[in-house]
């Protein structure tokens, strides 16, 4: 990742100097960009017109573009009365959310304001966000379209309006406590105190970084400021169906951070595995296969279905710890061990503890389910200990 700080130098080539640390109470404006060359000059002009006279500022662009956006920013920065930094990422890890995290790491001010690079977020509101946060002693100030005085006027088309409202409802339903006091968790325009953010705890995926910050950083005090969502100055929206799917995956990952929540989702995914299991069993027996081998084979279809969902949704952030083939084999062995363990366990509960068959079966199902969940976490998705760490542990008295 390359970084350049552009300080106004008059005509000629940009003068590259280190960014000066702004005075306390100043603001770092973080702008993630992806092919926004047609917008950034206008955005910098709007910031120049409305922000520096009211609050000292610097602007950090975190750029994932494949066009000439970085060059346009550098040229436009020569007319700005504040430092402008360009961080260009060759690998856009984490998408827009990852770009924002990089920008927060580079910030030098007490306050960080995150806004889009397409001019849909009015820079004139930046000083009000900071002033509101200072007055309220807040750690997070959200520019909201859904409180009195706000509007989503610039959200083009009934489809995008419906998607936005649906995503807002779903998000607030999944996180009622952590999003308490935030009417617009889908907003990409907000101010946050830099000391509130622990960048190492963030796991951004896609473009809804406010949700990530609110859930993981857990700001103690949150307030809101209304704003009118503007139309894009130029270009087209980067919101796509693919980004929507990434958002749903992100929601699932955030919601299953707690062990109990993971166990519940693990069980729900397991229930869905009965569908491919039963369909495969029906097809195999209809083809003339004996029901016992058919049951064994059909069970593998359910195991494969469960693994795909669990691997993609429940343990998405832990997949890097093991190769996919290693994860697959371990998961399959654990899932099939469930069948081998369940029958002897039922026999033990009935024969030794004198339980009736139905309660013994139910108890066995619960016990093997818990063991399978614990085993999946510990043996499939927890990081492997390095050989060096193992030798150190053995040599420690």
- 31 pLDDT above the threshold of 90: yes
Query: Which tokens sit at 288?
Result: 């003339």
Q: How do beta strands 84-88 and 57-63 pair?
A: parallel
Cα separations (Å) of 242 from 67, 184, 206, 278? 21, 22, 9, 31
Distance, CA of 296 to CA of 336 (rounded, Å) = 9
CB 101 within 8 A of CB 199: yes
3-state secondary structure of 170: helix
Give me the CATH code for the 2-255 domain, please. Answer: 3.90.550.10
For the chain, which residues make up each domain, given as ranges? 2-255, 259-389
Distance, CA of 303 to CA of 306 (rounded, Å) = 5
> Minimal CA–CA distance to 41: which of 133, 119, 105, 130?
119
Q: Is the pTM of this model over 0.75?
A: no
Going across the sheet that includes 27-33, the strands are 15-16, 2-7, 84-88, 57-63, 27-33, 111-114, 190-193, 140-144, 222-226
3-state secondary structure of 58: strand
Task: Give me the mean pLDDT over the 67-86 stretch.
Answer: 92
Helix and strand totals (H; E) in the chain: 13, 9
Predicted confidence (pLDDT) per residue in 266-282, tens digit: 888 888 888 888 888 88
- 361 pLDDT above the threshold of 90: no
**90 vs 58 pLDDT, higher one:** 58
Strand partners, 94: none
| The predicted structure's pLDDT at residue 355 | 85
| The predicted structure's pLDDT at residue 25 | 57
Cα separations (Å) of 381 from 266, 270, 368, 378? 13, 17, 18, 6
CB 61 within 8 A of CB 84: yes
Task: Give CA 56 to chain center in angstroms.
Answer: 31
Predicted confidence (pLDDT) per residue in 280-309, tens digit: 888 988 898 887 788 788 888 988 999 998
| The predicted structure's pLDDT at residue 23 | 43
Beta strands in the chain (DSSP E): 2-7, 15-16, 27-33, 57-63, 84-88, 111-114, 140-144, 190-193, 222-226
Predicted confidence (pLDDT) per residue in 110-163, tens digit: 899 999 888 889 999 999 999 999 999 999 999 998 889 888 766 655 656 676
Predicted confidence (pLDDT) per residue in 155-174, tens digit: 655 656 676 777 777 777 77
Predicted confidence (pLDDT) per residue in 81-104, tens digit: 999 999 999 887 777 788 888 898
């Amino acid at each position: 990742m390359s970084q350049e700080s552009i300080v106004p130098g008059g005509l000629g080539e940009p003068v590259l100097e280190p960014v000066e640390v702004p005075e306390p109470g100043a603001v770092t404006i973080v702008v993630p960009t992806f092919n926004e060359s047609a917008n950034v000059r206008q955005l910098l002009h709007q910031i120049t017109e409305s922000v520096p006279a009211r609050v000292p500022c610097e602007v950090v662009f975190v750029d994932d573009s494949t066009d000439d956006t970085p060059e346009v920013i550098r040229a436009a920065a020569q007319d700005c009365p504040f430092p402008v930094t360009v961080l260009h990422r060759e690998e856009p890890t984490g998408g827009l959310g990852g770009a924002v995290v990089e920008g927060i790491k580079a910030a030098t001010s007490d306050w960080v304001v995150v806004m889009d690079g397409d001019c849909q977020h009015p820079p004139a509101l930046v000083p009000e966000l900071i002033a509101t946060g200072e007055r309220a002693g807040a750690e997070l100030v959200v520019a909201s379209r859904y409180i009195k005085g706000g509007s989503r006027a610039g959200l083009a088309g009934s489809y995008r309006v419906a998607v936005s409202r649906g995503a807002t409802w779903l998000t607030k339903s999944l996180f009622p406590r952590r999003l308490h006091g935030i009417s617009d968790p889908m907003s990409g325009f907000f101010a946050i105190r830099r000391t509130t953010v622990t960048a190492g705890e963030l796991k951004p995926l896609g473009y809804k970084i406010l949700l990530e910050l609110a859930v993981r950083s857990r700001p103690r005090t949150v307030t809101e400021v209304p704003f009118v969502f503007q139309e894009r100055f130029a270009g087209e929206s980067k919101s796509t169906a693919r980004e929507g799917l990434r958002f749903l995956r992100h929601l699932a990952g955030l919601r299953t951070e707690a062990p109990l929540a993971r166990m519940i989702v693990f069980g729900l995914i397991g229930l869905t595995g009965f569908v491919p299991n039963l369909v495969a069993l029906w097809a195999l027996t209809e083809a003339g296969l004996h029901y016992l081998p058919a049951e064994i084979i059909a069970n593998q279809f359910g195991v494969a279905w469960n693994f795909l969902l669990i691997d993609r949704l429940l343990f998405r952030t832990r997949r890097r710890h093991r190769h996919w083939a290693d994860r697959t084999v371990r998961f399959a062995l654990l899932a099939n061990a469930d069948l081998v363990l369940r029958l002897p366990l039922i026999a033990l509960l009935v024969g030794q503890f004198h339980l009736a068959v139905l309660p013994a079966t139910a108890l066995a199902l619960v016990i093997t389910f818990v063991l399978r969940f614990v085993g999946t976490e510990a043996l499939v998705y927890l990081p492997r200990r390095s050989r060096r760490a193992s030798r150190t542990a053995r040599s420690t008295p």
